[in-house]
Amino acid sequence: MNGAKLTATAGAFIEDGVTYIPLRAVGEALGAAVGWDPDAFAVSVDMPASGAAGSAQSEDAAVTSVIEKVSPSVVAIIGNYSQSSSSWQDSYAEGMAGGTGVVIKSGGEILTNAHVVDGMNSIVVILNDGSAYSGKVKYTDEAADLAVVKIDKLGLPIVTFGDSDAIRTGDTVVAIGTPLSFSLRNSASKGIISGVNRGLSSEYALIQTDAAINFGNSGGPLVNLKGQVVGINSSKFAGVGIEGVGFSIPANTVKYVIDQFDQYGKVRRIGINATLEESWAARRGLPTKDGLKVTGASGTTGAEGLAAGDVIFSIGGVAVHSQVDCNECMKKYKSGDKPEFAIKRGGSDMKLKLTLS
């Protein structure tokens, strides 16, 4: 339908020469709102306005609805900090810093970047309605650059997280936050997904976007047109001649970290007790099929056969060409799991089952 392949698992099938297509597929293919009245056995199809102008109007209306839906769950964060605190921190004036956060639990838990609250004292969270509450850092993880701030307030509207693995380059997104000044709370900017699986100085893959992200936007949401948070804005490239190069932490990484916070109060990272070295191409972000070279192995994995000089090409059937690839792969495992490692030792290909810890 409109170039999209429908399968039986999607609910489409052919019977007695008649093709049956689910109403949902019609809506997605035509951009229409399709309704079903089970009592009257009636279908209603609300078509979008035709032509490029109609399409633009439809997207503009969707963006407006998204901002209205998500903004009540977006907060500003302000506090004092010492000059010795992280250089990542978004600063507004000498001795003051701030950023953005999103409500993830109605009982007063706010998600933001770890660098926003690093070294911050006297934290104050300002809600969408302008009311202010004292905050306290409950959890923090510098590696993922995520933290949770707790305030004493019940009944807060929470955000909904989407599946960041489903986003595509070119998807329209909206960034909401507090750029540059607290007088600009809940500012919104529209852009697109410029790229996915970007590996920079972070330990995990990032989303690249050209939606405007400035100082103070850190910790705010990157939202799709369904009103789902697909990323948490965290950084940007800035400088003369640089425009529209911002980065967000994917929602699936965020959900992983939040789950770890809830279970353990911190992120328990699974590893292989080995020191890994990226290839020259991987270190420069170039496309490569090179594996990760083991420069040293210890503990259980060393005893099980992993050794210096080995090159790891896949873990559990997933190709790994960089440290970020390896970190992303490890998110799905728990301590004690024994995935299969495809390695090269000397000139020979080998497979080892190694115990993660």
> 127-131 contacts: CB < 8 A, separation 24 or more?
127/75, 127/153, 127/156, 128/71, 128/72, 128/73, 128/74, 128/75, 128/185, 128/186
- Could you tell me which of 263, 231, 17 has the C-alpha nearest to residue 145? 231
Residues in the chain: 357
Greatest alpha-carbon pair distance for the chain in Å reads 75
Q: What is the pLDDT of residue 58?
A: 79
Q: What is the pLDDT of residue 48?
A: 58
Q: What is the pTM assigned to this prediction?
A: 0.77
Boundaries of every domain in the chain: 1-47, 164-253, 274-353
Q: Which residues contact 94 (CB under 8 A, 6 or more apart)?
A: none
Domain range 164-253, CATH class: mainly beta
β-bridge mates for residue 91, sequence order:
97
Domain range 274-353, CATH class: mainly beta
Residue for token pair 């500003």: 76
Q: Is residue 103 within 8 Å of 75, Cβ to Cβ? A: yes
Over the stretch 11-20, which tens digit does the pLDDT of each residue have? Answer: 777 777 787 7
Q: What is the pLDDT of residue 312?
A: 95
Q: Is residue 186 within 8 Å of 176, Cβ to Cβ? A: yes
Tokens found for residue 90: 């978004």
Task: List residues with catalytic annotation.
Answer: 115, 145, 218
Q: What is the pLDDT of residue 242?
A: 45
- Could you tell me which of 109, 71, 110, 117 has the C-alpha nearest to residue 90? 117
Over the stretch 289-310, which tens digit does the pLDDT of each residue have? Answer: 999 999 998 888 888 889 999 9
**C-alpha dihedral sign at 158, 140, 130, 177:** negative
Q: Is residue 193 within 8 Å of 158, Cβ to Cβ? A: no
Same CATH fold, 274-353 and 164-253? no
pLDDT beneath 70: ranges in the chain: 1-10, 24, 26-32, 46-57, 82-96, 179-184, 200-201, 236-245
Over the stretch 160-179, which tens digit does the pLDDT of each residue have? Answer: 999 999 999 999 999 998 86
The whole-angstrom separation of Cα 175 and Cα 190 is 6
